[in-house]
């Protein structure tokens, strides 16, 4: 018999989670001509369905395992209305048939989903009596190929997904019963009576929930801040001739004032400014958004999933798969800024560190944006879009947010919750937890110098050894899915932050000095740096689910544990070379003033880009095509809207709350003499000793003209800025 041999991908092409970029692929399924022809019989499922049930009875609707219920009777009555409408040629009845999907054309190249016509189905509202309508109900039916074709093989998870439309009074169980009997008749195979084709979670109608109290609160909150910003901006623009005389409370809410600070750029040379951090932050942020865009798009209703399998074997896939190193870039920047800025501030304060105020300042800087993001995601986003797949994407987790939102606001969600509210916030939890232990490390290196740094180095190596050991002992593989704890637990992600901390300490010890290197030394430094970075990205190229080679858990454990040290080491050379004049074109690119506005917006972009991506993907009504070019187009579309939303939320939430916090907390006003902290990434910034490492681009103290923007941008999934406050208060004496 002639054989048709082809590769079928797992429908859905699962992505393990935000921090795990591995695509699960299956291949090698065979289908003969007879099996293929059997599948073709159900291609026009809607026509077969309504032809088969033109004389529908109550027993057709009710599962054999139970007696009819009131809902079953109502479903039967509405189906009777539907079949009568088909006989009489009623347009609404034909619209219900017309909105169905079919077995897709192109299943041999991985086209497994047909969305039908969502809007046509849910907009059906046929008046039967003056106070009763027959409404349309849209669902996605999953047809398992293995059972339908009656064959054995690794196809348990492989399903064709097609849209069905039926009266809204019918439940998913009613539809399961109807489809089971139809498919048994069409393909001549006795299907398992317990098979479930339609799940209620995939069904949608035109009905919408009324606004609850939290939705109203969210709208009122945003409206209040919007009104305050609007009034303050109008006063600033039309009534205030001299911004120096603008009252502090109005300056806090003035969009004009904050926009000037946001878009003000400068490339003035200053030894206390690390200009290249803006470029590193901006590039890492783009990498984060770009990678997430691919993850969302892989799960879209693509007509060519077979091409995804081919793409997964390309070298470019490693750039997406290893996008997790963008997270390590943010950890590196965070640790570096904590060390540089705080040590300088401790020296000026003669060893004094106000730890409680430091923690309070950081929490108040980060939390308003996180809290509003949760509210917007839960209560505003569903009002902005709808579609057959809305709320069903890789990073959608409405149930998790309803159950676990408070863990996110406490920054312990990576330990306290199995499912994280807002997938990108796991980084915030790790960053906050590292920030909490930062004072201890700062006191150690401040008091004991190189001996303290040696202790931090030993801690870094011990944590890497622990990660290696736990992977080998428990046989945890990131490539094959592994344990999310490998990526989201603080003790497994600390190495990059500690390397940045040590590098920041080194820069603190050489501040104001010029390190002379020979040309060969510079070349060797760059070669080692590039070798480390490219090895981290491409070392695993021969391995993975789409590759023929496999890797031992021992080798993978070596790679994972060492790469989290190698990556920040490579970045350390980049920053060092740029600061010491050995950066060349790299320094010109990374230190370009054009990066500065993006760098300042990085926190809000990071927090809101997934909301935009999920919103746009969830509104999809038709099938899509997967290719790198099409993904580039989608990325710039989503990134553009993310920029707009980030700017709005920066003006409405981040900047005003930052200004209020600076105005209210004690010791928050800048001294009359401008001070330029070493870790500052913004030129000509007036920063008080109290405003140490600032990872969130937020407005600085109100009385100052310039803005402090030493933020370490957010990472691939959830990043925020690490702000370490080194205050002049005498709560902790680092010299004692």
Q: What confidence tens digit (pLDDT) does each residue in 367-408 have?
A: 999 999 999 999 999 999 899 998 876 667 788 888 889 999
Confidence at residue 550, expressed as pLDDT on a 0 to 100 scale: 82
Q: What is the mean pLDDT of the chain?
A: 82
Report the SS3 class of residue 49: helix
Cβ neighbour number for residue 128 with a 10 Å cutoff: 11
H or E segment and range at residue 221: helix 213-234
Q: What angle do CA 299, 564, 366 make, to 5 degrees?
A: 70
Count CA atoms within 13 Å of residue 356 on its CB side: 5
pLDDT band at 29 (very low <50, low <70, confident <90, very high): very low
Instruction: Give the chain's length.
Output: 736
pLDDT digits (tens, 9 = 90+) for 652-675: 999 999 999 888 876 544 433 333
Rounded average pLDDT over 208-223: 93
In angstroms, the Cα distances linking 455 to 441, 449, 461 are 9, 10, 10
Confidence at residue 589, expressed as pLDDT on a 0 to 100 scale: 96
pLDDT reading at 481 higher than 80: no
pLDDT reading at 203 higher than 60: yes
Report the SS3 class of residue 492: helix
pLDDT digits (tens, 9 = 90+) for 340-352: 999 998 988 888 8
How many whole angstroms separate alpha carbon 728 and alpha carbon 667? 8
Number of H helices, E strands in the chain: 30, 10
Radius of gyration in angstroms for the set of CA atoms belonging to the chain, rounded to a whole number:
29
Give me the helices (H) in 312-425, please. Answer: 316-321, 325-348, 355-375, 381-384, 398-410, 413-416
Confidence at residue 448, expressed as pLDDT on a 0 to 100 scale: 93
Confidence at residue 46, expressed as pLDDT on a 0 to 100 scale: 82
Confidence at residue 182, expressed as pLDDT on a 0 to 100 scale: 86
Confidence at residue 695, expressed as pLDDT on a 0 to 100 scale: 37
DSSP code of 545? T
pLDDT band at 144 (very low <50, low <70, confident <90, very high): confident
H or E segment and range at residue 133: strand 132-144
Report the SS3 class of residue 30: strand
Stated pTM of the model = 0.84
Cβ neighbour number for residue 194 with a 10 Å cutoff: 8
Contact yes or no for 472/559 (Cβ under 8 A): no
How many whole angstroms separate alpha carbon 486 and alpha carbon 16? 13
**Which of these, 10, 19, 294, lies nearest to 154 by C-alpha position?**
10
Q: Tell me which of 281 and 692 has the higher pLDDT.
A: 281
End-to-end CA separation in angstroms for the chain: 86
DSSP code of 703? T
pLDDT digits (tens, 9 = 90+) for 589-639: 999 999 999 999 999 999 999 999 999 999 999 999 999 999 999 999 999
Confidence at residue 722, expressed as pLDDT on a 0 to 100 scale: 32
How many whole angstroms separate alpha carbon 316 and alpha carbon 313? 9
Q: Tell me which of 684 and 635 has the higher pLDDT.
A: 635
Contact yes or no for 204/164 (Cβ under 8 A): no
């Amino acid at each position: 018999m002639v054989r048709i041999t082809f590769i079928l991908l797992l429908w859905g092409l699962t992505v393990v989670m935000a921090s795990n970029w591995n695509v699960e692929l299956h291949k090698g399924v065979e289908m003969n001509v007879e099996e293929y022809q059997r599948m073709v019989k159900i291609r026009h499922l809607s026509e077969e369905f309504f032809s088969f049930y033109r004389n529908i009875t109550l027993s057709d609707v009710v599962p054999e395992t139970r007696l009819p219920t009131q809902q079953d009777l109502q479903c039967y009555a509405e189906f009777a209305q539907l079949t009568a409408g088909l006989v009489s040629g009623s347009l609404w009845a034909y619209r219900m048939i017309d909105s169905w999907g079919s077995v897709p054309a192109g299943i041999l190249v991985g086209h497994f989903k047909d969305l039908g016509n969502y809007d046509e189905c849910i907009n059906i509202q046929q008046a039967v009596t003056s106070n009763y309508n027959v409404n349309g109900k849209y669902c996605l039916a999953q047809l398992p190929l293995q059972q339908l074709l009656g064959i054995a093989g690794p196809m348990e998870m492989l399903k064709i997904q097609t849209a069905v439309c039926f009266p809204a009074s019918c439940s998913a169980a009613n539809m399961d019963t109807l489809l089971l009997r139809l498919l048994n008749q069409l393909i001549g195979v006795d299907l398992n009576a317990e098979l479930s084709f339609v799940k209620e979670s995939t069904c949608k109608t035109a009905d919408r929930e009324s606004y609850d109290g939290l939705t109203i609160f969210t709208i009122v909150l945003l409206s209040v801040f919007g009104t305050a910003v609007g009034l303050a901006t109008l006063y600033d623009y039309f009534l205030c001739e001299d911004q120096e005389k603008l009252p502090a409370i109005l300056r806090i809410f003035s969009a004009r004032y904050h926009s000037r600070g946001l878009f003000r750029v400068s490339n003035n040379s200053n030894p206390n400014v690390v200009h290249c951090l803006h470029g590193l932050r901006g590039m890492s942020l783009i990498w984060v958004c770009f990678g997430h865009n691919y993850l969302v798009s892989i799960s879209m209703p693509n007509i060519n999933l077979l091409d995804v399998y081919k793409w997964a074997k390309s070298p470019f896939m490693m750039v997406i798969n290893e996008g997790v190193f963008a997270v390590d870039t943010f950890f590196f920047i965070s640790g570096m800024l904590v060390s540089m800025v705080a040590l300088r501030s401790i020296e000026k304060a003669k060893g004094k560190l106000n730890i409680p105020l430091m923690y309070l300042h950081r929490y108040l800087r980060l939390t308003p944006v996180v809290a509003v993001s949760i509210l917007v995601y839960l209560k505003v986003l569903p009002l902005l879009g709808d579609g057959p797949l809305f709320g069903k994407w890789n990073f959608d987790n409405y149930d998790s947010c309803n159950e676990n939102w408070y863990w996110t606001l406490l920054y312990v969600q990576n330990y306290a919750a199995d499912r994280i509210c807002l997938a990108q916030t796991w980084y915030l939890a790790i960053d906050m937890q590292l920030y909490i232990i930062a004072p201890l490390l700062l006191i150690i290196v401040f008091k004991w110098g190189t001996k303290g740094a040696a202790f931090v180095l030993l801690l870094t190596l011990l944590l890497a050894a622990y990660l290696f050991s736990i992977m080998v002992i428990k046989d945890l593989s990131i490539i094959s899915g592994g344990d999310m704890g490998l990526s989201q637990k603080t003790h497994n992600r600390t190495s990059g932050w500690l390397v940045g901390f040590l590098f920041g300490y080194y820069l603190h010890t050489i501040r104001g000095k010029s390190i002379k290197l020979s040309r060969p030394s510079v070349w060797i430094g760059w070669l080692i740096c590039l070798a480390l970075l490219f090895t981290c990205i491409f070392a695993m190229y021969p391995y993975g689910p789409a590759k023929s080679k496999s890797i031992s858990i021992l080798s993978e454990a070596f790679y994972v544990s060492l790469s989290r040290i190698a990556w920040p080491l490579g970045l350390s050379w980049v920053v060092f070379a740029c600061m010491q004049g050995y950066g060349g074109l790299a320094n010109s690119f990374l230190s370009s003033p054009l990066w500065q506005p993006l760098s300042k917006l990085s926190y809000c972009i990071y927090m809101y880009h997934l909301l935009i991506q999920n919103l746009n993907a969830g509104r999809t009504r038709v099938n899509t095509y997967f290719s790198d070019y099409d993904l580039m187009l989608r990325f710039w579309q989503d990134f553009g809207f993310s920029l707009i939303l980030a700017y709005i939320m920066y003006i409405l939430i981040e900047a005003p709350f930052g200004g209020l916090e600076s105005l209210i907390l004690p010791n928050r006003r800048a001294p009359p003499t401008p001070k330029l902290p070493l870790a500052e990434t913004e030129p000509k910034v007036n920063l008080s000793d109290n405003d140490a490492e600032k990872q969130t681009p937020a407005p600085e103290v109100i009385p100052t003209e310039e803005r402090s923007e030493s933020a370490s941008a957010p990472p691939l999934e959830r990043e925020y800025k690490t702000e370490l406050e080194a205050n002049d208060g005498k709560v902790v004496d680092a010299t004692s």
